[in-house]
Structure 1
Amino acid sequence: MLKLGGYINIVIAIAHIVGLFWADKMFEITGIGKEMATLAQKHSTLPYLLTIIVAIVFFIFGLYGLSAANKFRKLPFLKPVIFLIAGIYLLRGIGELIADTIQGTNSIAETIYSLVAIIIGLLFLIGGLQKWRAENNILL
């Protein structure tokens, strides 16, 4: 599960970078076109810089998933970071679904993004629980 979560994050990071070639279209498809246009009014490079930073975060999440799955060298603070990543994804997914329901602004795209976030969060959460539960049983 951690390996799959890691690879999914790396694919998302790459998609962010590739999407910059069609940035306006990507921003519109993901529903952040207006926000990025406002950001571009402050400085034209800000939407691109923000997207690159987000891609780096996804890439780091991916490396942590692969590290926990023993596919990459052991990274620092591995256990708490895996559960932090799970929490971030679950909070984003569940929080967005709740907020959209309360506000009555549910869209199919946003619901799909939220469900994907929940799935990735569960991959990290369940994968982390399995990994460290198995390690603890070995130590006992």
Structure 2
Amino acid sequence: MLKIGGYINIVIAIAHLVGLIWAEQMFEVTGIGKEMIALAQSHFSLPYVLTIFVSIIFFVFGLYGLSADGKLKELPFLKPAIFIISGIYIVRGIGELIFDLSKQQANPIAETIYSLIALTIGILFLIGGLKKWAFKKENV
């Protein structure tokens, strides 16, 4: 589960970087077009810098997932990091779903899909982390 979550994060990181080739379209598809236009008014490079930063975060999350699965060298603070990453994704997924349901208008399908993806990744990290550390104590 951690391996799957790790690889998904790396794919998301790469997709962010590739998406910069078509930045305006990517921002519109992901629903952040207006925010990025406002950010670009401060400086034209800020949407790109922010996207690269977000891509790095996804990549690091992916590395932690792969490290916890034993595919890479063990990274520092591995156990708490896995559960923090899981929490971030679960809160993001559930929070956005609740926010969408509380709106008076019909919720856009894309936002719901992004929330379900985040929730799925969070559950992968949570279950993977529990399998690796919490349930392992019973065998000791």
- Work out whether the TM-score is over 0.5: yes
Q: Name the CA distance, whole Å, in 1 between partners of 2:93 and 2:104.
A: 16
Offset, 1:94: 0.2
**Aligned position for 2:79:** 79
Q: Name the CA distance, whole Å, in 1 between partners of 2:11 and 2:26.
A: 15
Q: Name the CA distance, whole Å, in 2 between partners of 1:135 and 1:39.
A: 47
Q: Name the CA distance, whole Å, in 2 between partners of 1:124 and 1:104.
A: 33
**Aligned position for 1:99:** 99
**Aligned position for 1:109:** 110
Offset, 1:134: 4.2
Q: Name the CA distance, whole Å, in 2 between partners of 1:104 and 1:92.
A: 20
TM-score, with structure 2 as normaliser: 0.96
Pairing 1:1-140 to 2, within 5 Å after superposition: 1-105=1-105, 106-138=107-139, 140=140
Q: Name the CA distance, whole Å, in 2 between partners of 1:78 and 1:88.
A: 15
TM-score, with structure 1 as normaliser: 0.96
| Unmatched 5+ stretches in structure 1 | none
The list of structure 1 runs, each at least 4 consecutive aligned residues, that deviate by more than 6 angstroms after superposition, is none
| Unmatched 5+ stretches in structure 2 | none
Aligned length, in residue pairs: 139
| Percent of residue pairs identical | 68
2:116 alignment partner AA: L
